[in-house]
Each structure stands twice: as structure tokens, then as C-alpha cells.
Amino acid sequence: MELNTQIRELVMQANLFETMEGELDDEELLHLDSMSLIWLITSLEEQFQIPIDYRTEDLSHFQSIQRIEQYVQDKLAKLSV
């Protein structure tokens, strides 16, 4: 399964956007509240086996599916070195 698809499923899985209609665009801002953000970060850590410290990371990485995908790709690349 593609990375983008996995991230999209995680975002939609928790019904974080139950008020949204239709498909979520990769560049669309997610507007996560603090609990949703923590849930998403924890889910990304578990799914991709990457450490994410929300206290030190730039949280703008989690503003869209596209940014999350790039962030996860960068983290995975650092782990494989």
C-alpha cells in the first residue's frame, strides 16, 4: 500500500473530519485539535515505527496529508541510513 494511502486512511480512520464532505485533498489544511493531533502522531509512530516527539517537532508537518507524507518519508530515510 502506498504511503499516501496509509496516511490518508489513518487521518480518516478516527473520523477527525466527520463534518467534511467528499474526498480530502492532499494539500487541504487539516485543522487538528490537540487531542486529534496527539492521536495522529501516536498512530504514525505505531504504523511506521518512527519516533515523533510532539514537544520538539515543528507541528506544521501535520497540517496536510502532503506534509505528513513528506515528514514520514524523511523520518524513514533517516532510519534507513
Domain chopping of the chain, boundaries: 3-17+28-79
pLDDT value for 20? 54
| pLDDT tens, position by position, 17-51 | 555 555 778 998 888 888 889 999 999 999 999 99
Domain 3-17+28-79 CATH (choose: 1.10.357.10, 3.50.30.50, 3.40.50.10490, 1.10.1200.10): 1.10.1200.10
The pLDDT-based confidence of 80 (bands split at 50, 70, 90) is confident
User: CB–CB of 25/11 below 8 Å?
Assistant: no
Query: Residue 64 and residue 42: Cα distance in Å, rounded?
Result: 16
Residue 11 has pLDDT above 70, yes or no: yes
